[in-house]
Structure 1
Amino acid sequence: MDEEEANSPSGNSNSSSFSLLEWVSKLQTKAWETYKSKPISHWILLLLSTLGMLVAFPASSLLSRVYFANGGTSKWIISWVAVAGWPIPALILFPTYLFFKTSPTPLNLYLFLSYVFLGFLSAADNLMYAYAYAYLPASTAALLGSSSLVFSSLFGFFIVKNKLNASMINAIVIITAAMTIIALDSDSDRFPYVTDSQYAWGFVWDILGSALHGLIFALSELVFVKLLGRRSFHVVLEQQVMVSFFAFVFTTIGVVVNNDFQGMVSEAKTFKGGETAYQMVLIWGVITFQLGVLGATAVLFLASTVMAGVLNAVRVPLTSIAAVILLHDPMSGFKILSLIITFWGFASYIYGTSDWNKSS
């Protein structure tokens, strides 16, 4: 009789329920052990960094689109806005030297050159994204930007020697397919005032910017591992200050050469909403972009590349949905399909890098 019960459908149901409860129990135990392994300050910093990625980054993307939609024309200015907030992490950094008894990281030649190089790459990356947001809806640009996970995985494999498995390779193929769907559906979301050529270049610049973003991500991790040693949180702030400062220098040179500072006065006068609206878009763009980058860098330091990738996955639909609601971006069936496929790709990537997959 007992054997019959074990082989009955109800027996299988009870076994499945027990397995599920056992899995949930193990997950809770593991989560609690992970929480107890770090001080409360670690989790507070991680929470703030996560909010920086999930709130500030989408906000900065929407503000870039608002700038171009309301009369802004300079790609150099919006690139300059992305790095003009470099003193923000500096204001957070200096008190750590005073109150937490930390000392600045010794600046040797290799570290200095890495900051300069990353600053140059960041300036170029911001300019590429500026061209993308000038010609693409914010929701489309955000979806295309999700391909940065593909590039960060590939660059991480070749530069930092991170591992790639079948699930991660599957994610790369899936996300690439999602980008192809958007390209095939370009007629549904192109603004009337954007030409076919401009839309195509916006698409290209977004993909190139994502590739460069992935390279910066991998190189930043390499700097943490090889030159900074992941010692404390103030190291994150130091890197952010230095990289943003050099990106600011390179971008300012571009703005001056292009005479775009002089054009800001006339641009503000013709901006939809007036000069005050123009100033607020730029000021909040400065703040949100810097907080978003700081949050992403901090998550990379405090958690892992995987955690940063997960949060990057979450901010893609957040940005797209916010763009549809606030900016009335077109959202076709193909774009929704691309969003679903992108999420599927992220899920595959997360599974491929999770501890559960490694232990199975």
Structure 2
Amino acid sequence: MAEGSEGDKERSMKRLLLMVNCLLLVIGTSGGPLIMRLYFLRGGHRVWLSSFLETAGFPFMLLPLAVSYLRRRSAAAEARTAKPSLISMKPPLLAASVFIGVLTGLDDYLYAYGVARLPVSTSALIIATQLGFTAFFAFLLVRQKFTSYSVNAVVLLTVGAGVLALHTSGDRPPGESVKEYAMGFVMTVIAAALYGFVLPLVEMVYKKTKQPITYSLVMEIQFVMCFSATVFCVIGMIINNDFKVIPREAKEFKHGEVNYYTVLVGSAIMWQAFFLGAIGVIFCASSLFSGILIAVLLPITEVLAVIFYKEKFQAEKGVSLLLSLWGMVSYFYGEIKHDRKMKKKEKNSDMEATEMPQLQYT
């Protein structure tokens, strides 16, 4: 009975963590692209700086990591066991996190390059194709099992992204050449494919590592990944002389110098929420679910772009939003149905075990 109660408590805690990370992902997915586009629309031009900001908020992770360490140390003191180490990551996991971080830094640059040259609606359309890449790599790397509901969700969300393509013709920003627009398009497609690979790769690392994965360890992985990605982008900034240009760019920013730095800090916070939410959802659920949630939120970004940047909301965007919501409902319905089926199966197994005749020894 105690074991069952402990299991229910653990499941409830995991659901709470899933909700928190979903909220972080909602904030990051919706706010990150908008504030990044604001930087470019109001006079910003540095692609490496924008890619740097996507992971530069990693120092914010030190606070929850410190709280987690103090709690573990207090628990160890009460149990009279050895003090936990400040860093719980073992070398293989550390190396894997650094590698994924470098890939993330490259993806940050590709995405920032696309956002600098494409409208929010177009970049959101292209990034929505990431779900197809995530599903493909999840099948290859972690042998993701697909139900009819999850397949339906992937199809609906992909079709929803395709519907948005109906209004992309003629949306090239004024003063931008066809070559620049095409490069932005290609870079964003590559960014979608690369992050579609990164999400299942993180899940594979969780499954293959030989140490137990806790949420505290997930935060450490996030810290190392973002630190590595930031170092990668800093090298690019140094080569591109971005640090020398920042003060001049701040003075020329259309909303003023103070607002320029506010946009930079806000961008770092938004993107940190996105990355922590993404790998947190993988920890609590799966990389496929993380990819589906990102795809579902992209039409929301479209709506926010209409509100804040006065972009037109064509009928295609409404249809895309409807298909995305339908896909989300399909996925969640399938998950709920599967969960109920598993609980019923476990209950029947427990009843059969109880009813089995006990052997008598004389």
CA 1:310–1:117 in 2, change beyond 3 Å: closer, same or farther?
same
| 1:129 paired to 2:114 | no
Do 1:236 and 1:297's aligned partners in 2 also have CA atoms closer than 8 Å? yes
- 274-283 vs 334-343, greater mean Cα deviation: 334-343
Amino acid at match of 1:220: V
Do 1:63 and 1:281's aligned partners in 2 also have CA atoms closer than 8 Å? yes
Which of 243, 247, 264 is matched with 2:229 structurally? 247
Over the matched positions of the two proteins, sequence identity in percent amounts to 34
Which of 53, 59, 67 is matched with 1:81 structurally? 53
Do 1:150 and 1:175's aligned partners in 2 also have CA atoms closer than 8 Å? no
| 2:306 corresponding residue in structure 1 | 324
Which of 175, 182, 190 is matched with 1:193 structurally? 175
Q: Report how far residue 220 of structure 1 moved.
A: 0.4
| 1:53 paired to 2:35 | no
CA deviations over 1:162-205 (Å, ceiling 9, x no partner): 12355545554554444444445323543323333333332222
**What count of residue pairs does the alignment treat as equivalent?**
327
State how 1:134-153 maps to structure 2 within 5 Å.
134-153=116-135
Amino acid at match of 1:100: R
- 228-237 vs 72-81, greater mean Cα deviation: 228-237
Do 1:76 and 1:251's aligned partners in 2 also have CA atoms closer than 8 Å? yes
CA 1:96–1:326 in 2, change beyond 3 Å: closer, same or farther?
same
Q: Report how far residue 347 of structure 1 moved.
A: 4.8
Which of 24, 34, 44 is matched with 1:62 structurally? 34
Do 2:126 and 2:161's aligned partners in 1 also have CA atoms closer than 8 Å? yes
| 1:99 paired to 2:71 | yes
CA deviations over 1:203-230 (Å, ceiling 9, x no partner): 2222221111111101100111111655
Which of 201, 212, 216 is matched with 1:219 structurally? 201
CA 1:202–1:171 in 2, change beyond 3 Å: closer, same or farther?
farther
Distance 1:168 1:39 in 2: 22
Q: Report how far residue 344 of structure 1 moved.
A: 4.3
CA 1:183–1:321 in 2, change beyond 3 Å: closer, same or farther?
closer
Do 1:139 and 1:321's aligned partners in 2 also have CA atoms closer than 8 Å? no
Amino acid at match of 2:36: S
| 1:24 corresponding residue in structure 2 | none
Distance 1:299 1:321 in 2: 24
Which of 192, 198, 202 is matched with 2:184 structurally? 202
Q: Which runs of 5+ in 1 are unaligned?
A: 1-32
Distance 1:96 1:351 in 2: 34
Distance 1:207 1:119 in 2: 20
Question: How large is the Cα RMSD of the aligned pairs?
Answer: 2.8
Distance 2:340 2:309 in 1: 42
Distance 2:159 2:149 in 1: 15
Which of 203, 207, 215 is matched with 1:233 structurally? 215
CA 1:106–1:344 in 2, change beyond 3 Å: closer, same or farther?
closer
Q: Which runs of 5+ in 2 are unaligned?
A: 74-83, 343-362
Do 2:251 and 2:257's aligned partners in 1 also have CA atoms closer than 8 Å? yes
